[in-house]
Copies of this chain bind each other. A is one copy, B any other.
Amino acid sequence: MTTITPQATKDAPPGQGAVGGSRTLLSFVGGQNLSLIGALAVVLALFGILNENYLSVSNMQVIAEAATITGLLAVVQTVVIICGGLDISVGSQVGVASVVSAMVFTSTGDNALLGVAVAVGVGVLVGVLNGLVIVYGRVNPTIATLAGLAAYKGLAQLLSDGRAQGYVLNDDIFVFLGRGKVAGIPAMVWILIAVAVAVHLLLTRTDIGRNIYAIGGNDTAARLAGININKYLVAVYALIGVVAAIAGILLTARTGSGQPTSGSEGLELKAITAAALGGCALRGGKGGIGGTLLAVALLGCLENGLTVEGINSFWQNVAQGALLVIAVVIQQRRSGERAVGLPT
């Protein structure tokens, strides 16, 4: 009957493939992301022709830096979506971390490391709290984190009294985080790269990652296979807490002070958009970091290009919505999804 073909099929999810070096890049990108790469190429070419400076190194740095905070959140959002959850509270968590880092920094006589450490600690606590509510309160992840969206925003406002707090740009560490460059690449972008690579390896190369795919793909199967789903869920939300805290610290470093809401509101939608555009199935079990990062890059290049061209924000909204749909339609056509029935 059928014979076993040992190589991975073309449908294999990204990061499933072999161990070898050249395969790794392709697996990181993922075959099904080719249309995203195409869209990215079109955007780069288009704006590159319209404006000679668009493709300059400095503008690429600007784009990368502007996309970093969204990128970090999109990476962890990908993880939680793969395991069948969602985190709508990420933006508020960023606000909390931003305020905490700046306030601790200021109140401990400009101790940057302590500020960073406490912010990350608070991030872990918030993430674990989310996880516990979901697991032991048996609350749907969407509802639980919707509640978190309001509650943590309130927390950040209460801590800061609604104002920007502290001033950190007299400190070398924060200045480095906000403006430093290593090998021509901004420090924040390095952080994004480090987090993305770590999470990618986690998802594709460890049994932990594979278990995350299992939980999102079929929770009953995962439970019967003896995977401790509860532990995994709490851990994933804690991971989100940590990465959101890092994003909050970067926000502080960029703006110079702790921002309770400014700069973090609405990030959840951007992160989810990027993850979904990057190929995550919102019902879980499917997706990868490669696609998400491509989507982040695409959205970032688009936004920057529209601004460079001086297009007003109303048209930008229309253009972004339309382009998002077009990118996905092309992606779907290519992958040959069936037309009859619910196209999820």
A residues in contact (CB < 8 Å) with B:
84-85, 133-144, 146-155, 157-158, 162, 215, 219-220, 222-223, 229-230, 233, 269, 272-273, 276-277, 281-283, 313-322, 324-325, 328-329, 332-333, 337-344
Contacts of A314 in B (CB 8 A): 154, 157-158, 162
Tell whether, in the assembled complex, residue B276 and residue A325 are in contact, meaning their CB atoms are under 8 Å apart. Answer: no
Q: How many copies of the chain does the oligomer comprise?
A: 2
A269 in contact with B151 given A219-B341, A328-B139, A343-B140 (CB within 8 Å): no
Instruction: Find out whether the CB atom of A153 lies under 8 angstroms from the CB atom of B317.
Output: yes
CB distance from A75 to the nearest CB of B (A): 18
Q: List 16 A-B contacts (CB under 8 A).
A: A136-B339, A138-B343, A140-B281, A140-B328, A140-B343, A146-B272, A147-B320, A151-B320, A151-B325, A153-B317, A154-B314, A219-B344, A220-B341, A223-B341, A229-B340, A229-B341
The interface residues of chain B lying within 8 Å CB-to-CB of A319 are 154
A277 touches B220 (CB 8 A): no
Task: Determine whether the beta carbon of B321 is less than 8 Å from that of A141.
Answer: no
Bound form: Cα–Cα A318–B220 in Å: 34
**Assembly CA distance A46 to B162 (angstroms):** 28
List residues of chain B with CB within 8 A of the CB of A318: 150-151, 154-155, 158
- What residues of chain B lie closer than 8 Å to A283, measured between beta carbons? 283
Q: Using Cβ atoms and an 8 Å threshold, which residues of chain B touch A142? A: 272, 276, 282
Main secondary structure of the interface of A (DSSP, over half): helix
Cα distance, A283 to B284, chains bound together (Å) = 11
Closest to A325 in B: B147
- Told that A139-B329, A142-B272 touch, could you supply 6 new A-B pairs with CB distance under 8 A? A146-B276, A146-B324, A147-B321, A151-B325, A157-B314, A230-B341
Residue among A136, A317, A342 having the largest count of chain B Cβ atoms under 10 Å: A342
